Amino acid sequence: MQHPSLNIAIRAARSAGKLLLRYMDRVDSLKVESKSRNDFVSDIDRGAEALIIQELRARFPDHAILAEESGAQGRGDFQWIIDPLDGTTNYLHGFPQFSVSIALKHKGQLECGVVYDPLREEMYSAARGQGAQLNDRKIRVANRPSLEGALIGTGFPFRDQRHIDVYLRMFKDMTLATAGLRRPGSAALDLAYVAAGRTDGFWEIGLAEWDCAAGALLVAEAGGTVTDLAGGKSFLETGNLIAGNLKVHRAMLDLLTPHLTEQLKA
């Protein structure tokens, strides 16, 4: 039986996805602001977020919310974590890779999550202890035994570039050890692809909680592992994470660990 909160999250993600598609051919008319270097927000981010919050509030008026554009609202054991448009820069350029990400935490533990790709009509969903699905079909992480021949997703540290030199050294070593790296530009979808076995692993530095909460649950429920760069469980706090099946994750951890600064080990 599907988690009741998951049905509401799926409905909210679909509503936001429809709005994103409606404006995709009219991005020139959107008002765009820069929140910080390389970090943009548009009317459509705010509109999609308002739509999601409205749907969640109608069903769960007492739940707290942490959303990318409007921040933290309310307090309580239940908290929704929302990214209404993960891949804003892609969206504003007409680059067809972006998603809606919604997750629910209960007392700090991820309970359910959805990542929706409206262009491909792909709904990735997971509830704790119930596995992960893509459009109602069960998904599993790939069973690749090592980095040899692996396809690995990543994201450049675009907001905070203090770690760019460390990251580029990681990038070089990972390139040499694998079949290739991909940087599509939506971390939520990148994690969903790991869950679905489309890529073998993923790592990134400097994510926000709303970028990776739903995707991390997808990977875990699809049989994979998600940790911070030191192999711990603080990735939602640090925003630094590695995801993959058990063996690929271990190999990525071994390859990336020598590059970690004291700051990234925390």
Mean pLDDT within 107-121: 97
232-254 pLDDT, tens digit each? 999 999 999 999 999 999 999 99
Q: How far is CA 21 from CA 27, 84, 94, 97, 108, in A?
A: 10, 13, 11, 12, 33
Say how many Å lie between the first and final Cα of the chain, rounded: 39
Kindly tell me if the per-residue pLDDT of 104 is higher than 60. Answer: yes
Q: What percent of the chain has pLDDT over 70?
A: 95
The span from the CA of 50 to the CA of 44, in Å, is: 10
Please report the DSSP string for 212-232 in residue order: HHHHHHHHHHTT-EEE-TTSS
CA distance 217 to 225: 9
pLDDT at 44: 84
Query: In this model, does residue 158 exceed pLDDT 90?
Result: no
Q: Are 241 and 227 in contact (CB under 8 A)?
A: yes
**More reliable by pLDDT, 260 or 42:** 260
* Mean pLDDT within 138-151: 98
Q: What's the chain's average pLDDT?
A: 93
- Please compute the mean of the pLDDT values over residues 82-96 and round it to a whole number: 93
CA nearest to 52, candidates 169, 225, 210: 210
Average pLDDT over residues 93-111: 96
Structure token digits, residue 187: 């971390």
Distance between CA atoms of 241 and 238, rounded to whole angstroms? Answer: 8
Q: What's the token pair of residue 213?
A: 């909460």
39 pLDDT more than 70? no
Residue whose entry in the numeric block shows the structure tokens 């460390």:
166
Please count the other Cβ atoms lying within 10 Å of the Cβ belonging to residue 10.
Answer: 17
Picking from 34-38, 126-130, 146-150, 188-192, which range would have the lowest pLDDT averaged per residue? 34-38
Which residue type is seen at 12?
Answer: A
pLDDT in the model for residue 35: 62
Token duo for residue 159: 């907001």
* Cα of 56 vs its chain's centroid, Å: 19
**pLDDT confidence tier of residue 38, bands split at 50, 70 and 90:** very low
Q: What's the whole-model pTM score? A: 0.95
Give yes or no for residue 120 having a pLDDT over 50: yes
> Measuring CA to CA, how many Å separate 167 from each of 81, 135, 171, 205?
27, 34, 6, 8
CB atoms near residue 196 (< 10 Å): 21
Looking at the chain, the whole-number percentage of residues with pLDDT higher than 90 is 81
Tell me, what's the pLDDT at 31? 72
41 confidence band (pLDDT: 50, 70, 90):
low
Please give the single-letter amino acid code of residue 85: L
pLDDT score of 25: 82
Mean pLDDT of 177-195: 98
pLDDT in tens, 205-228: 999 999 999 999 999 999 999 999
**Mean pLDDT on 42-46:** 83
Taking 70 as the threshold, does the pLDDT of residue 37 lie above it? Answer: no
Q: Which pLDDT belongs to residue 65?
A: 98
Alpha helices (H) in 60-138, listed in sequence order: 88-93
Tell me the CB-side half-sphere exposure of residue 99, using CA atoms within 13 A: 30
Please tell me the distance from the alpha carbon of residue 234 to that of residue 236, in angstroms, as a whole number: 6
Are 3 and 111 in contact by the 8 Å Cβ rule? The answer is yes
User: What average pLDDT does this structure show over 85-95?
Assistant: 91
Say what the pLDDT of residue 212 is.
98
Name residue, tokens 């935490």: 105
